[in-house]
Amino acid sequence: MKPDWLKQKFVSTEKSRRVRELIRKFRLHTVCEEAACPNRSRCYSLGRATFLILGDVCTRKCRFCAIKKGKPLPPDPNEPANIAKTIELLGIKHAVITSVTRDDLRDYGAGQFIKTIREIKKLPQAVSVELLTPDFMGNKGILEPLLAEGFDVFNHNLETVPRLYKTVRPGADYSRSLEILSFAAKNFPKIITKSGIMVGLGETKKEVKDVICDLATSGVKILTIGQYLRPSEKHLPVVEYIHPDVFEEYREFGESAGITYVYSAPLVRSSFSAEEVFLETKQKHSRKEH
């Protein structure tokens, strides 16, 4: 049984109906729906969504994720413009763009991210942009032109502790993921670097704190920590429901280790409250400089 602190109420507003209407109209995908996020009704009710580019089929087989696996379709050339139009119509001020992993493409999908950023920059209103990307197989020659587009937040999730990678993230590599975060932080310091992990998969406190230290050393400025929830019987079981007090312990440890903003609570997800987290992080940086 899920503990009380994980129970969510469904929220429906005119804004949430508008989000769903536009997603259908422009044939878009959101990670909110495809990954069965427990916060999706709350985010939709605020007129927000995390857009999922490059289709809704992933080439990897992570055992925690609800997104479909298999052979994806070619990228939709209209997708970047349709996302920008949806952002404009919803009045979104902070756009979060993520994607399925596309190991089948020569550039691993980086070009579609670039096209999407450029379409958003054409909009009449000011929009900050956050990208949550796959690892691009660690190819810095592909990553660098993307980072050179000058967006606001670069997010790549470590997801779990190194010991659990083969079970949780087959096809991914902890060191490779950490390396691209470090590359972004070192070479593009104007972009805020962000990462996220899940807990409740059987990791120890020491392992979590070791990951936090690795991220702090790599220059990551924002860290999200949330409870893993099993999307279906086909996915990895929850080993433990972590108490909110432990999430607070991780928050305090992360910020003492040097991470500017640690958003740590059971229902936190990588792009949950992304706009508020981004603005608060900028404010903290500003206070430090003065």
CA dist 158 and 197 (Å) reads: 6
Q: Residue 179: left if φ>0, alpha if ψ -120 to 50, beta else—which one?
A: alpha
Q: Is the pLDDT of residue 26 over 70?
A: yes
Share of residues in the chain with pLDDT > 90 (%): 81
For 165, the token pair is 């990678």
For 118, the token pair is 């450029």
290 falls within a domain: no
Q: Is the pLDDT of residue 79 over 90?
A: yes
289 falls within a domain: no
128 falls within a domain: yes
138 falls within a domain: yes
Return the minimum-mean-pLDDT range out of 7-11, 31-35, 158-162, 205-209.
7-11
Domain count, the chain: 1
- pLDDT computed for residue 42 by the predictor: 84
For the whole model, what pTM was predicted?
Answer: 0.94
Return the minimum-mean-pLDDT range out of 28-32, 109-113, 184-188.
28-32
136 falls within a domain: yes
4 falls within a domain: no
Domain that holds residue 18: 9-283
- pLDDT computed for residue 290 by the predictor: 60
Q: The CATH number of the domain where 71 resides is what?
A: 3.20.20.70
CA dist 147 and 174 (Å) reads: 21
- pLDDT computed for residue 284 by the predictor: 87
